Amino acid sequence: DSGVTQTPKHLITATGQRVTLRCSPRSGDLSVYWYQQSLDQGLQFLIHYYNGEERAKGNILERFSAQQFPDLHSELNLSSLELGDSALYFCASSLDRERWLGEQYFGPGTRLTVT
Amino acid sequence: DAKTTQPTSMDCAEGRAANLPCNHSTISGNEYVYWYRQIHSQGPQYIIHGLKNNETNEMASLIITEDRKSSTLILPHATLRDTAVYYCIVRADSTGNQFYFGTGTSLTVIP
């Protein structure tokens, strides 16, 4: 158990819909990262938040957005869903003490199926 | 961030050492080498990281060549539970940099 929690575990929805994935980082971790893993794309970095501020963006679509709240939990919002958005979505957290990055701790993931 | 090259797959006999190579010939001086693994569809798990010196922890050892252009992850006594995809990543020690996982090496530990 990494200490990172993600909800829901599974999500099935239709094309065109909007969903919100939630992540709670390990206690004390200030950074949250979101990743998408699909069968044909591998593990793709989406976005990184540190203490409520966006720090880096990866291959995140404009239809997707994220935020990190004052209690440090994060939400990933996916809208206008397409079949190709079906994937495992992982959240990771790390301490990120100034310039030392250290390791990331991954949650169990949310499996999104768009039908 | 520097790119990494890993073999697609490897086998290792149970109880033997598993040596997983990684090439990162374009690595910069401020980039660390990280290793993660992913067992089936679980979240990736951090294994070890290093900058220049060899590192060892309870899970594995990391050997980095003197020119830092390649590294080897060593699992000293592989077990069936070590069957996973192993990712070698290089990343600068700075927030705001991305993590590129690449395709990794699928390690199968054979009984």
Q: To which H or E segment does residue A109 belong?
A: none
B90 vs A69, higher pLDDT: A69
Other C-beta atoms closer than 10 Å to the C-beta of A50 total: 19
**Which residues 6+ apart lie within 8 Å of B84 measured at CB?**
B37, B38, B39, B40, B106, B107
Identify all chain A residues contacting B49, using CB atoms and an 8 Å cutoff.
102-103
Output the pLDDT for position B93: 60
A1 vs B109, higher pLDDT: B109
B29 vs B13, higher pLDDT: B13
Output the pLDDT for position A37: 94
Residue to substitute from B37, B86, B95, B100, interface A, most A β-carbons within 10 A: B95
CA distance A93 to A86: 23
Identify all chain A residues contacting B95, using CB atoms and an 8 Å cutoff.
31, 48, 50, 55-56, 96, 99, 101
Output the pLDDT for position B111: 95
Q: Is the confidence at residue B72, as pLDDT, over 60?
A: yes
Q: Is the confidence at residue A66, as pLDDT, over 90?
A: yes
Q: What is the mean pLDDT of chain B?
A: 90
Q: How far does the CA of residue A39 sit from the closest CA of chain B (Å)?
A: 11
Three-class secondary structure of residue A107 per DSSP: coil
Token pair for B3: 């790119």
* Residue B37 sits at the chain A interface (C-beta within 8 Å): no
Output the pLDDT for position A71: 95
Contact B95 A92 (CB under 8 A): no
Q: Which residue of chain A has the CA closest to B39?
A: A108
Other C-beta atoms closer than 10 Å to the C-beta of A23 total: 26
* Residue B28 sits at the chain A interface (C-beta within 8 Å): no
CA distance B54 to A82: 45
Q: Is the confidence at residue A17, as pLDDT, over 90?
A: yes
List, for residues B37-46, the tens digit of each pLDDT value: 999 889 999 9
* Residue B87 sits at the chain A interface (C-beta within 8 Å): yes
Q: Which residue of chain B has the CA closest to A99?
A: B94
